[in-house]
Amino acid sequence: MLRFLIRRVLGAAVILLVISAVTFFLFYAIPADPARLACGKVCPPETLEQARRNLGIDQPLLVQFVSWLSGIFVGRDYEGLGHCPAPCLGFSFVNKAPVFETIMDRMPVTIALTLGAAVIFLIFGVATGIVAALRQGKPLDKVASVASLIGASVQIYFVGTLAMYLFVYQTQVFSQPKYVPITEDPLGWFNGLLLPWLVLALIFTANYTRITRSTMVENLNEDYVRTARAKGMSGRSVVLRFALRGTLTPVITIFGVDLGTLIGGAIITETTFGLQGIGRLAVRAVDYSDLPTLMATVVLAAGAIVLMNVVVDSLYAVIDPRVRLS
């Protein structure tokens, strides 16, 4: 198990390194003047000079990349701007602050948004999928399939804005979405995120219902399930202990992909509800022409996806011992 884990982590690190290198190259080698893109929409000459000097634009690209990369591990000094401590993902010449600080500021918003929604859509999606599979062709199954079709086709910028109109401005059922740290005001935290969670869950549940249902239907026809039934096991334990276990694998796969993508920036959701998370930060960085921040958000988002892949792989190994050996 340990060897398996080490191999996966190393593979993930290589992918992340290559993504960083490719992104760095595309952002710093292709533009005619990367310092100009790092200096902000309104670009005072002294900031431009600062950016040019500190990015080391006149040095070979590889040297620039290595100093960016080593900054993550040992930190980096910025001339005239101060020190950027250890996980230094770059320095924003627009905010006059290390990018990592800003990211740490925004991260709780995105994580709270993602995890809250994920709890809802995972539980609700798998539950409706199981019920639909057990009641194949019955009205409930049909309702579930129509609902999942609509959920899969609807867009967050439409249904989210519509929900804001109906439930926030017309009826005040939900409070205006906003982020309050959970340590400050747990109830405010919950209220502020409830609507975004529900809307995000509405869209994502569909996929889980569909996948759980189809895998479950397949699994219920498997020999081992029939054997368990024949041995006199009760219907419930057959479903929960045997059929569900086989169903978990594909569910975990998409759950990992969804979590990775959302943590890397639920851009459209954050934009729709005006939440200041990582996704918003990336969009703002584009608007303000803040290249170091942009670079950091891309690497961070890729990191989230790669990390979730490793987690998913490890979970496979826990659920299905055969994976460990291959």
Which residues form the interface with other proteins (CB under 8 A)? 15-16, 18-19, 22-23, 26-27, 30-32, 37, 149-150, 152-155, 157-159, 161-162, 164-165, 169, 214, 217, 261, 264-265, 267-268, 271-272, 279, 282-283, 285-287, 289, 294, 297-298, 301-302, 304-306, 309
Min dist. Cβ of residue 107 to other proteins (A): 15
Angle at 84 between CA 80 and CA 90, to 5 degrees: 95
Name 3's Cβ contacts closer than 8 Å, sequence gap at least 6.
none
What's the one-letter identity of residue 310? V
Number of neighbours of residue 106 by Cβ within 10 angstroms: 22
**Least spacing, CB of residue 286 vs other proteins, in Å:** 5
Shorter beta-carbon distance to other proteins: residue 13 or 74: 13
Q: To the nearest whole angstrom, how small is the minimum distance from the Cβ of residue 233 to other proteins?
A: 25
Q: Which is nearer to other proteins, 16 or 131 (CB)?
A: 16
Smallest separation, CB 168 to other proteins (Å): 9
Closer Cβ to other proteins, 79 or 287, answer by number: 287
Instruction: Name 199's Cβ contacts closer than 8 Å, sequence gap at least 6.
Output: 156, 159, 160, 163, 269, 272, 273
Give the burial class of 5: count Cβ atoms within 10 A of its Cβ; 0-12 exposed, 13-18 middle, 19 or more buried: middle
Minimum gap (Å) between residue 11 Cβ and other proteins: 9
**C-beta closer to other proteins: residue 111 or 182:** 111
User: Minimal distance in Å, beta carbon 79 to other proteins?
Assistant: 25
> In the complex, what is the shortest distance from the CB of residue 310 to other proteins, in angstroms, rounded to a whole number?
11
Closest to other proteins by CB, 36 vs 324, is 36
137/232 with CB nearer other proteins: 137
Residue 123 vs 150, nearer CB to other proteins: 150
User: C-beta of 252: minimal distance to other proteins in Å?
Assistant: 17
Closer CB to other proteins, 249 or 261, in the complex: 261
Q: Which of 322, 288, 301 lies closest to 38 in space, CA to CA? A: 288
